[in-house]
Structure 1
Amino acid sequence: MQSDVVSSGISALNGILQGLRLGDNVVWQVDGMDTYQHVVHPFVSQAVQDRRTVVYVRFGARRSILRPEAGVGCEDVDPRHGFDSFSAQVNGIIEKKGTGVFYVFDNLSELVAEWATDELLANFFQVTCPYLHELDTVAYFALTRGRHSHRAVARIRDTTQVLIDLYHVKENLYIHPLKVWDRYSSQMFLPHLFTEGVLTPVFHSGDASAISLTAGVPPLRVKADSIAPWDSVHRKLSQYDENELKQLEGTPEIQALKQELSQMIIGADPEHKRLSDEYLTLQELLEVRDRLIGSGRIGGKAAGMLLARGILRKASGDVNFSEVLEEHDSFYIGSDVFFTFLINNGLFRLRLRLTRDSQISTEEFEQVENRFLEGEFPGEIMDQFKDLIEYFGQAPIIVRSSSLLEDGFGNAFAGKYRSEFCVNQGSPEVRLEAFLRAVKLVYASAVNPDALAYRRQRGLGESDEQMAILVQRVSGMRYDGFFFPSLAGVAFSYNLYRWTNRIDPHQGIIRLVFGLGTRAVNREGGDYPRLIAVSHPLLRPEIGSKIAFYSQHEIDLLDLERNEFRSVPLIEIAQRDNYPNLALYVSVNEDGYMSDPEGSHIRNPEKCILTFNNLLGRTGFIKVMKELLATLESAYGHPVDTEFTASPGSSGDLRLNIVQCRPMRIPGSAEDVVLPSRVPKELLLFRTNRAISGGEVRDMKYIVYVDPTAYAVRAPMEIRQGIGRIVGELNRHPDIARNRVMMMGPGRWGSSNIMLGVNTTYADINNASVLVEIARVEDGHVPDVSYGTHFFLDLVESRVIYLPLYPDEPEADFNFSFFENSPNSLAQFLQGAEKFEPFIKVIDVFLAGGKRCAHVLADARKGAAVCFLRAAYNTPKEESGLHAGSTAVTVAKPSA
Structure 2
Amino acid sequence: MNIPQEWNKFYLKDVSFVNLMTHRIFNVLIVANPYDAFMLEDDGRVDEKIFNEYTALGLRYPPAFTQVSTIEEAMEVMNATTVDLVICMPGNADNDAFTVARAVKDRFPDIPCVVLTPFSHGITRRMENEDLSIFDYVFCWLGNTNLILSIIKLIEDKMNIEHDINEAGVQMILLVEDSIRFYSSVLPNLYSYILAQSQRFATEALNPHSATLRMRGRPKVVLARNYEEAMELYDKYADNTLGVISDCRFPKDGVKDADAGLKLLREIRRRDEYIPLIIQSSETANRERALAEGFRFIDKNSKKMNIDLRGIMEEHMGFGDFIFRDPATRKEIKRVRSLKELQDNIFNIPYDSMLYHISRNHMSRWLCARAIFPVSAFLKTVTWHRLQDVDAHRRIIFDAIVQYRHMKNIGIVALFNRDRFDAYSHFARIGDGSLGGKGRGLAFLDNIIKKHPEFNGFEGVKVSIPKTVVLCTDVFDEFMDNNNLYQVALSDASDDEILEHFLKAQLPDRFRADFYTFFEATNSPVAVRSSSLLEDSHYQPFAGIYSTYMIPRLDDKAQMLEMLAAAIKSVYASVYYRDSKAYMTATSNVIDQEKMAVILQEVVGKQYGDYFYPNISGVLRSINYYPIGYETAEEGVASLALGLGKYIVDGGQTLRVSPYHPDQVLQTSEMEVALRQTQTHFYALDMTHVGNDFKVDDGFNIRKMKVKDADKDGSLNYIASTYDPYDQVIRDGIYDGGRKIISFCGVLQQGVFPLPELLRMSMRFGAEGMKRPVEIEFACNLNEDRTGEFYLLQIRPIVDSKQVLDEDIASIADADCLLRSHNSLGHGISSDVTDVVYVKTDDDFTAANNPRVAEEVERINRKFLDERRNYVLVGPGRWGSSDYWLGVPVKWPHISAARVIVEVALKNYNVDPSQGTHFFQNLTSFGVGYFTIDANNGSGIYNKALLDSMPAVEETSLVRHVRFDKPLKIMMDGMKQEGVVVF
State the TM-score bracket (shorter-chain normalisation). 0.5 to 0.7
Counterparts of 1:246 and 1:168, CA distance in 2:
16
Deviation per residue, 1:130-183 (Å, 9 max, x gap): xxxxxxxxxxxxxx9999xxxxxxxxxxxxxxxxx9x9697699xxxxxxxxxx
1:844 to 957, 963, 982: 963
Cα offset, 1:714, TM superposition: 9.8
Q: In the TM superposition, what are the counterparts of 1:104-143 in structure 2 within 5 Å?
A: none
Which AA in structure 2 matches 1:645? A
Q: In the alignment, does 2:707 pair up with 1:570? A: yes
Q: In the TM superposition, what are the counterparts of 1:646-657 in structure 2 within 5 Å?
A: 646-657=780-791
Counterparts of 2:856 and 2:647, CA distance in 1:
25
SS in 2 for 1:325: strand
Alignment TM-score, normalising by the size of structure 1: 0.58
Q: How has the CA–CA distance of structure 1 residues 820 and 285 changed in structure 2, closer, same or farther, with 3 Å as cutoff?
A: closer
Q: In the alignment, does 2:738 pair up with 1:626? A: no
Counterparts of 1:375 and 1:711, CA distance in 2:
51
Q: How has the CA–CA distance of structure 1 residues 170 and 664 changed in structure 2, closer, same or farther, with 3 Å as cutoff?
A: farther
Which AA in structure 2 matches 1:438? A
Cα offset, 1:348, TM superposition: 2.6
Counterparts of 1:812 and 1:589, CA distance in 2:
37
Cα offset, 1:795, TM superposition: 1.4
Cα offset, 1:437, TM superposition: 1.6
Q: How has the CA–CA distance of structure 1 residues 706 and 691 changed in structure 2, closer, same or farther, with 3 Å as cutoff?
A: same
Q: In the TM superposition, what are the counterparts of 1:485-504 in structure 2 within 5 Å?
A: 485-500=614-629, 502-504=630-632
Counterparts of 1:318 and 1:341, CA distance in 2:
39
Q: Contact 1:573/1:579 (CA < 8 Å) preserved in 2?
A: yes
Match of 1:822 in 2: 950
Counterparts of 1:728 and 1:331, CA distance in 2:
38
2:775 to 641, 651, 657: 641
Q: How has the CA–CA distance of structure 1 residues 794 and 328 changed in structure 2, closer, same or farther, with 3 Å as cutoff?
A: closer
Match of 1:555 in 2: 682
Counterparts of 1:615 and 1:487, CA distance in 2:
10
Counterparts of 2:891 and 2:791, CA distance in 1:
30
Match of 2:905 in 1: 775
Moved more, 854-863 or 615-624: 854-863
2:659 to 520, 530, 534: 534
Cα offset, 1:752, TM superposition: 3.1
Which AA in structure 1 matches 2:444? L
Match of 2:874 in 1: 744
Cα offset, 1:553, TM superposition: 0.9
Match of 1:867 in 2: 981
2:372 to 237, 240, 243: 243
Match of 1:668 in 2: 802
SS in 1 for 2:561: helix
Cα offset, 1:623, TM superposition: 1.3
Cα offset, 1:724, TM superposition: 4.0
Counterparts of 1:539 and 1:656, CA distance in 2:
22
Q: How has the CA–CA distance of structure 1 residues 280 and 753 changed in structure 2, closer, same or farther, with 3 Å as cutoff?
A: same
Q: Contact 1:315/1:321 (CA < 8 Å) preserved in 2?
A: no
Q: In the alignment, does 2:501 pair up with 1:374? A: no
Moved more, 472-481 or 667-676: 667-676
Counterparts of 2:847 and 2:535, CA distance in 1:
42
Match of 1:732 in 2: 865
Counterparts of 1:618 and 1:244, CA distance in 2:
42
1:513 to 609, 631, 641: 641
Deviation per residue, 1:40-94 (Å, 9 max, x gap): xxxxxxxxxxxxxxxxxxxxxxxxxxxxxxxxxxxxxxxxxxxxxxxxxxxxxxx
Cα offset, 1:589, TM superposition: 5.5
2:468 to 319, 327, 330: 330
Alignment TM-score, normalising by the size of structure 2: 0.54
Q: Contact 2:411/2:449 (CA < 8 Å) preserved in 1?
A: no
Match of 1:579 in 2: 714
Q: Contact 1:671/1:860 (CA < 8 Å) preserved in 2?
A: no
Q: How has the CA–CA distance of structure 1 residues 516 and 842 changed in structure 2, closer, same or farther, with 3 Å as cutoff?
A: same
Q: Contact 2:413/2:443 (CA < 8 Å) preserved in 1?
A: no
Extract unaligned runs of 5+ from structure 1.
1-143, 148-164, 174-239, 248-278, 355-359, 827-835, 847-851, 870-896
Q: State the identity %.
A: 22
Match of 1:304 in 2: 441
Q: How has the CA–CA distance of structure 1 residues 508 and 709 changed in structure 2, closer, same or farther, with 3 Å as cutoff?
A: same
Counterparts of 1:714 and 1:566, CA distance in 2:
24
Counterparts of 2:526 and 2:924, CA distance in 1:
30
Q: Contact 1:825/1:842 (CA < 8 Å) preserved in 2?
A: yes
Q: In the TM superposition, what are the counterparts of 1:404-803 in structure 2 within 5 Å?
A: 404-425=533-554, 427-461=556-590, 464-500=593-629, 502-524=630-652, 528-542=653-667, 543-544=669-670, 545-562=672-689, 564-574=701-711, 576=712, 579=714, 582-588=717-723, 590=725, 593-597=728-732, 601-604=734-737, 606-619=738-751, 620-668=754-802, 674-679=808-813, 681=815, 683-709=816-842, 712-713=845-846, 719-720=852-853, 722-734=855-867, 737-738=868-869, 740-778=870-908, 780=909, 782=911, 784-786=913-915, 788-803=916-931
User: Number of matched residues?
Assistant: 577
Q: In the alignment, does 2:452 pair up with 1:315? A: yes
Deviation per residue, 1:256-315 (Å, 9 max, x gap): xxxxxxxxxxxxxxxxxxxxxxx9989933355664344433322122212212222221
Which AA in structure 2 matches 1:813? I
SS in 1 for 2:496: helix
Counterparts of 1:718 and 1:330, CA distance in 2:
37
Q: Contact 1:386/1:432 (CA < 8 Å) preserved in 2?
A: yes
Q: How has the CA–CA distance of structure 1 residues 855 and 146 changed in structure 2, closer, same or farther, with 3 Å as cutoff?
A: farther
SS in 2 for 1:307: helix
Extract unaligned runs of 5+ from structure 2.
1-333, 350-368, 377-406, 419-427, 691-700
Cα offset, 1:783, TM superposition: 5.3
Which AA in structure 1 matches 2:664? L
Cα offset, 1:483, TM superposition: 1.3
Cα offset, 1:445, TM superposition: 1.5
Counterparts of 2:872 and 2:786, CA distance in 1:
48
Q: Contact 2:851/2:889 (CA < 8 Å) preserved in 1?
A: no
Q: How has the CA–CA distance of structure 1 residues 715 and 594 changed in structure 2, closer, same or farther, with 3 Å as cutoff?
A: closer
Q: Contact 1:720/1:754 (CA < 8 Å) preserved in 2?
A: no
The structure with higher relative contact order (CA 8 Å, sep 6+) is 1
Deviation per residue, 1:402-438 (Å, 9 max, x gap): 1233233333311111110112336333322221221
Match of 1:128 in 2: none
Q: Contact 1:747/1:757 (CA < 8 Å) preserved in 2?
A: yes
Counterparts of 1:426 and 1:281, CA distance in 2:
27
Report which of the two structures shows the higher radius of gyration computed on alpha carbons.
2
Deviation per residue, 1:740-768 (Å, 9 max, x gap): 41111222222334443333222221111
SS in 2 for 1:372: helix
Q: Contact 1:313/1:321 (CA < 8 Å) preserved in 2?
A: no
Cα offset, 1:771, TM superposition: 0.8
Cα offset, 1:584, TM superposition: 3.5
Cα offset, 1:516, TM superposition: 1.0
Cα offset, 1:478, TM superposition: 1.5
Q: Contact 1:581/1:650 (CA < 8 Å) preserved in 2?
A: no
Q: Contact 2:480/2:486 (CA < 8 Å) preserved in 1?
A: yes
Match of 1:181 in 2: none
Q: Contact 2:718/2:745 (CA < 8 Å) preserved in 1?
A: no
Counterparts of 2:371 and 2:433, CA distance in 1:
24
Cα offset, 1:242, TM superposition: 6.2
